[in-house]
Amino acid sequence: MNDKAEMSAIPSEPMVAMTAGNWLREARQNQGLHLDALAAMLKVNPDKLQALEADRWQDLPDMTFARALAKAVCRALKVDAVPLMTLLPEMVELELDVSRRLNQPFRESGRHEVGFSLAALLRPVVWGPAMLLILAALVYVTPASWLQVGSKLADAADPATAAVQAAEPLSAASQAAQLQQLEGQLALQVKTSGASWIEIVDARGQTLLSSLLQPGDMQRVSGQPPLKLLVGNVAATEITLRGSIVDLSTQARDNVARLELN
């Protein structure tokens, strides 16, 4: 009697060891998802998923791809990927490659090393700092009087610098002229609470502003009056002239206003 009980307790078939492929296949089947449907969700070839569930790692590009695909499957099935990562084979390709390189015989090639050194010296990264150090040393040992003479000669040869030097005695007069010119200009402030296309052109035809302003933007422009304005979104635009808000509604048509300001 006891012998029969012991024999019945022995399983009829040996238990299959849980592998990464078995784990993924059971997780997919538990959710009633077909392999082709999962492949369509992940936009991957079904053969890759079949190889993954069958633990055929040699049919996959490498273990990095296998681990990335396994994590993607876990995200699609909304299951924890930590248990699966412990079942995946270790990534040993890099270690094997390093060991093969370490076992390679050492080669002495003096000519190759000399060529490499010369190529390295010709790189800008190497000779660039060296040139800067040489120039700094030349400047340090050059007399200060020579530098002053060279600076004056360079300024005399530069037309822009000569013009600035000639205009220095007239700086007060030029400032007065600039103030008079600014006094004749018209200044505006534009604020937008919504997206609005603003275009402003002065009397000389110069475009002062031509842009799509975003909510909360503020622009200040000034130009020769009269200023021609095009406002693309009157309801979301506020224009201030001489401290007062311009009434755009009287010039608006279909929420777009065209006006001149003096």
Residue 197 belongs to a domain? yes
Overall pTM > 0.85: no
Question: What is the overall mean pLDDT for the chain?
Answer: 76
Count of residues in the chain:
262
Query: Based on the structure, what is the number of domains in the chain?
Result: 2
Between 82 and 101, name the one with better pLDDT.
Answer: 82
Residue 239 belongs to a domain? yes
Task: Give the CATH number, domain containing residue 76.
Answer: 1.10.260
> Does 96 score more than 60 pLDDT?
no
Return the pLDDT at 134: 86
What burial letters (b/e) apply to 186-203, b meaning 16+ CB within 10 Å? bebebbbeeebebebbbe
Q: Which of 41, 72, 93 is the last residue of a domain?
A: 93
Find the domain containing 31 and state its range.
Answer: 20-93
Residue 232 belongs to a domain? yes
Identity of residue 127:
W
Return the pLDDT at 109: 47
What are 125-149's pLDDT values in tens digits? 667 777 888 887 777 666 666 666 5
What are 27-77's pLDDT values in tens digits? 899 988 898 988 888 899 999 989 989 999 899 999 898 899 989 999 999
Return the pLDDT at 228: 92
CA angle at 229 for the pair 226 and 231, rounded to the nearest 5°: 165
Task: Give the CATH number, domain containing residue 201.
Answer: 2.60.40
Cβ–Cβ < 8 Å for 25, 84:
no
Residue 220 belongs to a domain? yes
| Ramachandran angles phi, psi of 231, nearest 5° | -115, 120
32/209 Cα distance (integer angstroms): 62
DSSP 184: T
Q: Which of 72, 93, 114 is the last residue of a domain?
A: 93
Q: What percent of the chain shows pLDDT beyond 90?
A: 26
Residue 69 belongs to a domain? yes
| Bridging pattern class, strands 218-223 and 244-245 | unpaired
Residues in a beta bridge with 214:
none
Neighbours of 234 (CB within 10 A): 18
What are 222-244's pLDDT values in tens digits? 889 999 999 989 999 999 998 89
> Does 1 score more than 80 pLDDT?
no
Residues in a beta bridge with 252:
257
Residue 147 belongs to a domain? no
| Residue carrying the six token digits 């475009």 | 207
Residue 205 belongs to a domain? yes
Q: Which of 54, 74, 93 is the last residue of a domain?
A: 93
Residue 130 belongs to a domain? no
